[in-house]
Structure 1
C-alpha cells in the first residue's frame, strides 16, 4: 500500500486485500485460543494462571508487538467462561508473587534473579529450569488458595 497513491482505486483494492489477511490471522488466533481453552476446561477441574501485565511486559522487556499478538487476555477470558460454564475454577495468582525467585523445593526466596539466568539454582542443592520452577510455585500457590476457598 505504501507504493500506491492514497485514495486511488488500486490503493482501495490493496487495502481490502490487507484487511482480509488481517481478518484471517485474527480468526486463526481465535480458533486456536478457543480450542486450547476448551482442552484445558475439559481436562482439569481447576486451572491456575499468573495474572500477567502484558502491556507492561511489551514496553519494559522490549518484546513489543509480539506480546500483544499472542492474545493472552483473550485466552484468559475464554478459559474463564468455559471453566465457569462447567462449574470449574480459574485461580489467578498475583503478578507480584515471586514465582521465579522462590525455590520450589525449600521455599527460600532469592533477592534477585536476572532474566538471563535460565537455570534456577538454590543453596539447598535444587536445580531446575527457571520456568519449570515458576510453574511449580504457581501450582503450589494455587493449591493453597483452592484449599482456603
Structure 2
C-alpha cells in the first residue's frame, strides 16, 4: 500500500545468556490481554475495534467506486494503509509485552490454549483475532528461551480461574461475569482480581510440573 521496506540481515552469535530472574505466571484474556502473577498488567488495546467504523466506511466507499478507476485505486490504497496501521498497533503491543516478560522472567508459565478452536466461536472470533492471543503465545515461545528462560505450558483443562491460589479450594460455579474472585472457604476468605488469582495458580502448577 504505497510503501518501501528495507530489510537488513545481521549474523549474531547464538549465545544463550544465564537468566536468574524470578518466575512468573501469565493469564491471557480478552478483557485484559495479560495479567502477571507479579502484579504487572497489560490492557488489550483492541486496535481493530477502535478503527472498525473507519474500516467499514472505507469498505462501503470502495464498493461504490468503479472498479479499476482512479478513485477506486485511491480508496483501495487508503484501506490498505488502515489495515497496515491496525496490524502495526497490534504487533507493537505484542512485541513490547513479550520482550519485557522474556527479559525479566526466568521461568514463564502460560496456559496451553487451543486458540484455533476458540476462534471458531462466532461470538468471540473477532475479539480473539483482534487480541492475537496465538501470536502472543508464539512470541513468548520464541523469545523466552532466547533470553535464557524457560517457558512452561500448563494444560488447557487446568481450572486456573476456579481455584483459590491461597488455599486450593475450588469454585466450580464461578461465572465469566465475575471479575472478582471470592474464595468459598470461610477459613481462607481470599478476595482478589480474578485474572491475578488465575496467574498465581498457573505459576504454581508450572512449578509443580517442573519439580524441584
TM range (shorter): 0.7 to 0.9
**1:123 is the counterpart of 2:185:** yes
> Residues 89-128 of structure 1 correspond to what in structure 2 (within 5 A)?
89-121=150-182, 122-124=184-186, 125-128=189-192
**1:11 is the counterpart of 2:75:** no
Give the number of equivalent residue pairs: 148
Equivalent residue for 1:144? Answer: 208
Displacement of 1:11: 1.2
Displacement of 1:127: 2.1
Q: Relative CO higher for 1 or 2, CA cutoff 8 Å, sep ≥ 6?
A: 2
* Structure 1: segments with no counterpart, 5+ residues: none
Displacement of 1:61: 8.0
TM norm structure 1: 0.85
- Of 12, 19, 43 in structure 1, the residue corresponding to residue 104 of structure 2 is 43
Q: Deviations over 1:53-106 (max 9, x none)?
A: 334445548234122112211122112111122331111112211011112122
Report if the CA contact (8 A) 1:118-1:130 is conserved. yes
More helix by share: 1
TM norm structure 2: 0.62
Displacement of 1:10: 1.4
